[in-house]
């Protein structure tokens, strides 16, 4: 296929945009006049072995073990010229038994379009994304799933009434040569019109200041494997009015949803000594104490209901070996979790990443401890061991 100078320039430009936030894997095709169009196909899989010391047996006091996929995805990335791109990603999961806080029969399967977003780059200071993609609240959710520092993102950080993605539109951009980044989005938020008082949109504003090497993409990474010196401090606020009834039986008054967060990330490589990575955040999800009503909406309680908490992560990448040690600590306060009011949960984990071919082929081992401040017959402390092989192709 013959490519002229102008076509070559466009291909290189679009390829840089396309591959900026993903691993260099998968086949790529060009098409259209002077090959301005570009398509790239990628597979991303995380295959796990899990063992938890509780959850199985007649009294749930026997250990539970399984092999399964944490993530099993096909992604299609495309661009046409330097100003338009798209990203479509599917995911298939089946029969997962060991969950965040419980062990179940796991006899269900799920296939979904995880992302479907049209990307318009007007200029460096103004990008518009439309479709289904990650909302702009916490850094942890915005970090690439395949490029975390620890085994995975926090299991407790998801916002109420949504998954890790939502549908809507976002405006974002970089100012002052990437020193400052802003993000604004309007998303569906709660999207079950028959149960909610009103079908309002959910609004988010996020900003960060990035020193040294800049973080200018829409997504973040949990580690840059010593290839960058990064110091980024961010904050965000999210709001959705009239999200739920105070009492689902009487339906006489409503509550608003508000959330805010602050976060920081630093990675600093030192020649001959290795790379230190550290990250921390605090987040507060407020639903106007609706959990105190006689008949609270299910969405204001539980794992993704009203809560606040923090996480702290540290890592050390050895200087002459593709081995990265890590540790994680989280402390969360839930308004109501498993029928226990004001439940406190502490999560601690440690392990390592061994990079066989960068993020494209990686082995991760992690041992974690989950501790509940208040225990009962249905809520007991547990420990989990996970071994994960990640493949990006």
Strand partners, 39: 29, 78
Mean pLDDT of the chain: 92
Lowest mean pLDDT among 52-61, 128-137, 249-258, 354-363: 52-61
- Residues whose CB falls within 8 Å of the CB of residue 104, separated by 6 or more in sequence, listed in order: 97
Residue with tokens 């009011």: 341
Amino acid 22: pLDDT: 46
Q: Tens digit of pLDDT for each residue in 208-225? A: 999 999 999 999 999 999
Say if residue 58's pLDDT is above 70.
yes
Say if residue 9's pLDDT is above 60.
no
Say if residue 281's pLDDT is above 80.
yes
Distance, CA of 162 to CA of 142 (rounded, Å): 14
Q: Tens digit of pLDDT for each residue in 118-174? A: 999 999 999 999 999 999 999 999 999 999 999 999 999 999 999 999 999 999 999
Tally of residues, the chain: 393
Q: Tens digit of pLDDT for each residue in 320-358? A: 999 999 999 999 999 999 999 999 999 999 999 999 999
Amino acid 332: pLDDT: 98
Say if residue 14's pLDDT is above 60.
no
Distance, CA of 241 to CA of 321 (rounded, Å): 51
Say if residue 8's pLDDT is above 80.
no
Q: Tens digit of pLDDT for each residue in 159-183? A: 999 999 999 999 999 999 999 999 9
Query: Is 128 in a helix, a strand, or coil?
Result: strand
- Residues whose CB falls within 8 Å of the CB of residue 60, separated by 6 or more in sequence, listed in order: 54, 103
If you average pLDDT over residues 185-209, what whole number do you get? 93
Lowest mean pLDDT among 99-103, 164-168, 285-289, 333-337: 99-103
CATH 2.40.160.10 fits 42-70+103-392, yes or no: yes
DSSP 272-311: TTEEEEEEEEEEEEE-TTGGGSSS--GGGSSTTSSEEEEE
Domain positions in the chain? 42-70+103-392
User: Taking a C-beta distance cutoff of 8 angstroms, is the pair 187, 135 a contact?
Assistant: yes
pLDDT-derived band at 25 (thresholds 50, 70, 90) equals low
Lowest mean pLDDT among 16-30, 122-136, 272-286: 16-30
């Amino acid at each position: 296929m013959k490519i002229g100078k102008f076509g070559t320039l466009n291909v290189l430009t679009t390829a840089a945009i396309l591959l900026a936030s993903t691993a260099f894997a998968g086949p790529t095709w060009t098409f259209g006049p002077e090959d301005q169009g570009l398509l790239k196909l990628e597979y991303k899989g995380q295959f796990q072995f899990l063992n938890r010391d509780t959850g199985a047996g007649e009294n749930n006091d026997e250990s539970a073990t399984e092999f399964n996929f944490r993530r099993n995805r096909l992604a299609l990335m495309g661009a046409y010229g330097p100003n338009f791109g798209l990203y479509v990603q599917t995911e298939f999961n089946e029969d997962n038994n060991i969950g965040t806080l419980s062990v179940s029969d796991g006899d269900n399967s799920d296939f979904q379009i995880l992302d479907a977003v049209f990307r318009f780059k007007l200029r460096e200071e103004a990008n518009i994304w439309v479709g289904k993609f990650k909302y702009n609240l916490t850094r942890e959710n915005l970090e690439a799933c395949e490029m975390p520092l620890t085994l995975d993102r926090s299991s407790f950080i998801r916002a109420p009434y949504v998954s890790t993605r939502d549908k809507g539109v976002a405006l974002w951009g970089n100012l002052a040569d990437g020193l400052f980044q802003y993000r604004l989005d309007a998303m569906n938020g709660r999207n079950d019109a028959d149960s909610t008082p009103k079908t309002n949109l959910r609004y988010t504003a996020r900003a960060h200041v990035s020193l040294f090497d800049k973080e200018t993409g829409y997504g973040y990474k949990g580690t840059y494997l010593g290839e960058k010196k990064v110091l980024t401090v961010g904050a965000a606020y999210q709001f959705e009015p009239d999200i739920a009834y105070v009492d689902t039986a009487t339906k006489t008054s409503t509550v608003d949803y508000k959330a805010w967060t602050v976060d920081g990330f630093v990675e600093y490589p030192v020649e001959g000594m290795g790379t230190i990575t550290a990250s921390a955040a605090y987040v507060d999800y407020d639903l106007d104490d609706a959990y105190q009503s006689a008949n609270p909406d299910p969405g204001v309680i539980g794992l993704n209901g009203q809560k606040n908490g923090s996480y702290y992560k540290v890592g050390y990448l050895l200087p002459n070996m593709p081995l990265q040690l890590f540790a994680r600590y989280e402390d969360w306060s839930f308004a109501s979790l498993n029928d226990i009011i004001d439940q406190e949960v502490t999560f601690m984990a440690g392990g390592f990443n061994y990079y066989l071919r960068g993020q494209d082929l990686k082995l991760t081992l992690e041992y974690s401890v989950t501790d509940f401040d208040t225990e009962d017959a249905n809520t007991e402390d547990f420990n989990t061991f996970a071994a994960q092989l990640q493949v990006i192709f």
